[in-house]
Structure 1
Amino acid sequence: MTTDKLKQRLQKPKTKKGARLLRAREPQAVEVLKKALFLFGHNTSQVIKDVLADLHKLKWQESVKYTRKNDDVKPFEAGGEASLEHFCKKTDCGLFAVGNHTKKRPHNLLLGRMYNYHLYDMVEFGVVGFKSLGSFGCARCQLGGKPSFLFVGDKFETVPVLKLVKNILLDFFRGRVVKQLNVMGLDRAVVVMAAADDKLAFVHCQINLKKSGTQVPQMELKEIGPRMHLEVRRFREAPADLSKEAHKRLETKKKEKNVDIDTLHNKVGRVYVPRQDVDSMALTKPKGVKRKQREDREQRMGKKTRKPSAHETE
């Protein structure tokens, strides 16, 4: 039996619960939560292990962490993404962070995204000057709080690589999508600064609200870690066909029949009117029409028309 037939056989649901689970794993129009998978590569340094541990704490209850090394996870090599896609599908994660260490690329951190459990895009960083959470002491953060991001530098809007980095970082730390958010829940801030040599400074701070004498409190930033400098090494953008499928918008509203939009963006509708018999309708008619109808009716009944008078014959 081939692999495709085996997948079709295994993915065919036999119960309603299995069908619901498969539908939940399909790409959704609105992603409420994206979980992240943290795992080690074929060789990992202690610095990268600490980086993944701190990032896993920032994504607490929204991530899965593997502690064993995985020799087959090599996303930038041909066929090296198969094992990564398998792990992401197994844990139902749309984001991943891979750490490895080589002589050519020391302290390597790889952040990326998945679409329909296929590798979408990713960026590789080199970690320099890392300072962990524990070195900054105790920090108080509310459960369920969401971090606010501050990107310093216009390169995040002009350089294509940094635009991709900004998009991935926002998607990675976005967390659960909510309709309403309490201001007190914004208790953390992540500052990402772009240097002249395209290196990035990643700083995680706590927001402290203090009295200011007005209704708007005074905000102060206190660094709580982790802190690190990131050097962009390699990156891979999303393929054209996969990007087109991922950006496809589903029509949530039903299309109205016989309704169009004209050139002035006005709503124009067409109304169906059945065929009507005007002759049988009780409408106001002129006297000439009534006389003609009366004469026709009298002829049909076999009656003669009235005789002319004496002065009319003369």
Structure 2
Amino acid sequence: MLQSQPLRQIKPKNARTKRFLENKAPQVHENPRTTLFLKYTSTSEVLNLVMTDLHALKRPLAIKFNKKNDIHPFEDPSSLEFFSEKNDASVMVFASHSKKRPHCLTMVRMFDWKVLDMLELLVDPETLRTLSQFKNDKARVGLKPLISFSGSAFDSPTENAYTLAKSMLLDMFKGPDVDKVDVEGLQYIINFSVEEEENEEVKPMIHMRCYLLRTKKAGGSLPKVEVEEMGPRIDFRVGRTKDADVDMLKEAMRKPKTTEAKTKKNIETDIIGDKIGRIHTGKQDLSQLQTRKMKGLKRSRDVPDDEDAFAGADELVNGSGDKKARIDEA
């Protein structure tokens, strides 16, 4: 009978190694995603230009290797997992070129140093325009971009290649999580758009465009915002995909209890953001209910109490002789 071996634990020998291991360990607030750029044994000049521009947009959270590697991601991803753990990179971009899949970028997303999901994006060389071909200013290194997705395919209720592309591209370019953003730091926007699918056999292309944001004075209190394309301009065709394992995806999406907000009983928030509270009250005693005081319901001064008043009312309705005699006496 085989017995499971315990996992090997590395004991730090000095403070530097201890800080390194603590930084790689699971954390309540994870570190920003680092992207690793790798090349296959055969690449094209188009892919070299695309990798250089994507690396420039992703800096400083990017590592680029120029050495060629004989790796087949969809057949054996073990080498990618090794590079991911060594470089602490959770997103990888692998460039390869072949006759069957020309100018191919394989995006790989990792979890716990294992491949979570993959997506192939084939670059269209006819429409490619690099950063250097746009003769204007560029955004500063390290700034968070605005990211927008245009097209109904990105918001499809069923998971497909375009919803996977949206998730992976957003993880790649969003940068570190912050609570506040300085308006002066919003210098550029990355837009991904896809057209409507007209033919099931031909999938629409994903268009990547990057624009500089220019603010100018306007007549009102808000400035006038203009956009200027800064590059790169890349069009992708969707290729093969590898969906995430259900159990691994569930584990990757799990949130620690320390980050979850404690739910308060009977307090909800609607879609607008207003807080709604629910109050439970006991059974009300309607006999003690204070009604509106009307002049016609007031008791007259000649009636001593409520019982006499109710008795006189009954006599008036029934037409008794006592009531008539009382009137004669008056």
- Name the CA distance, whole Å, in 2 between partners of 1:5 and 1:17: 28
- CA separation of 1:215 and 1:262: change in aligned 2, threshold 3 A: closer
Distance 1:182 1:263 in 2: 33
Match of 2:215 in 1: 209
Q: Aligned partner of 1:233: which letter?
A: G
Match of 1:39 in 2: 38
State the Cα deviation string for residues 72-108 of structure 1 (Å, max 9, x = none): x21111xx21111111111111111110000000000
State the identity as a percent: 32
The structural deviation recorded for 1:262 is 8.4
Cα deviation, 1:187-208, whole Å, max 9, x if unaligned, reads 1111111123321111111111
Contact 1:27/1:115 (CA < 8 Å) preserved in 2?
no
SS of match in other structure, 1:58: helix
Aligned partner of 2:8 in structure 1 is 8
Counterparts of 1:214 and 1:145, CA distance in 2: 28
Question: Among residues 99, 117, 120, which one is paired with 1:121 in the alignment?
Answer: 117
What aligned pairs does 1:88-167 form with structure 2 within 5 A after superposition? Answer: 88-128=84-124, 129-158=127-156, 160=159, 161-167=161-167
1-structure distance, mates of 2:41, 2:5: 32
Gaps of 5+ in 1: 268-314
Q: Which amino acid aligns with 1:25?
A: K
* 1:299 match: none
Report Cα offsets for 1:240-287 as digits up to 9, x if no partner.
Answer: 111111111211189x9xxx96899989xxxxxxxxxxxxxxxxxxxx
RMSD: 2.7
- Given the alignment of the two structures, is residue 191 of structure 1 paired with residue 191 of structure 2, yes or no? yes
Q: TM-score scaled by structure 2? A: 0.71
TM-score by length of 1: 0.75
Residue 171 of structure 2 is matched in structure 1 by: 171
Question: Cα–Cα, structure 1 residues 263 and 187, in superposed 2: closer, same or farther, change >3 Å?
Answer: closer
- Distance 1:127-1:29 versus aligned 2 partners, 3 A rule: same
Structure 1 residue 112: deviation in Å? 2.1
Equivalent pair of 2:34/2:89 in contact (CA under 8 Å): yes
Shift of 1:59: 1.0
Q: CA 1:263–1:59 in 2, change beyond 3 Å: closer, same or farther?
A: closer
Instruction: Select which of 58, 72, 77 maps to 1:74.
Output: 72
Question: What is the Cα deviation at residue 210 of structure 1?
Answer: 1.2
Whether contact under 8 Å (2:138, 2:230) holds in the other structure is no
Match of 2:53 in 1: 54
Aligned length: 257
Instruction: State the alpha-carbon separation in 1 of the partners of residues 12 and 118 from structure 2.
Output: 33
- 1:75–1:81: 8 Å Cα contact kept in structure 2? yes
1:181 and 2:168 aligned: no
Opposite residue 79 of structure 2, the aligned amino acid is S
Provide, for residues 161-196 of structure 1, a one-character-per-residue CA deviation record: whole Å limited to 9, x for no partner: 211111111110011222211111111111111123
> Which sits farther off after the overlay, 243-252 or 222-231?
243-252
CA distance in 1, matches of 2:219, 2:99: 56
Letter in 2 for 1:133: L
1:202 counterpart SS class: strand
3-state SS in 2 of match to 1:167: helix
Separation in 2, partners of 1:6, 1:82? 21
Pair 1:241-2:237 in alignment: no
Of 79, 86, 92, the match for 2:82: 86
Instruction: Tell me which stretches of 4 or more aligned residues in structure 1 moved more than 6 Å.
Output: 4-7, 262-267
Amino acid paired to 1:97? V
Tell me: CA distance 1:82–1:253, structure 2 relative to 1, closer, same or farther (3 Å). Answer: closer
**Unaligned ranges ≥5, structure 2:** 198-202, 269-276, 280-330
SS in structure 1 at match of 2:65: strand
Rounded to whole Å, the distance in 1 between the matches of 2:66 and 2:6 is: 30
Q: Which secondary structure does the structure 2 equivalent of 1:226 belong to?
A: coil
The 1:139/1:75 distance shift into structure 2, 3 A limit, reads same
User: Residue 104 of structure 1 aligns to a residue in which SS?
Assistant: coil
Instruction: Give 1:75's aligned amino acid.
Output: P
Q: Cα gap change, 1:176/1:136 in structure 2, threshold over 3 Å: closer, same or farther?
A: same
Tell me by how many angstroms 1:143 deviates: 4.0
- Tell me, in whole angstroms, the C-alpha distance in 2 between the residues paired with 1:266 and 1:31: 36
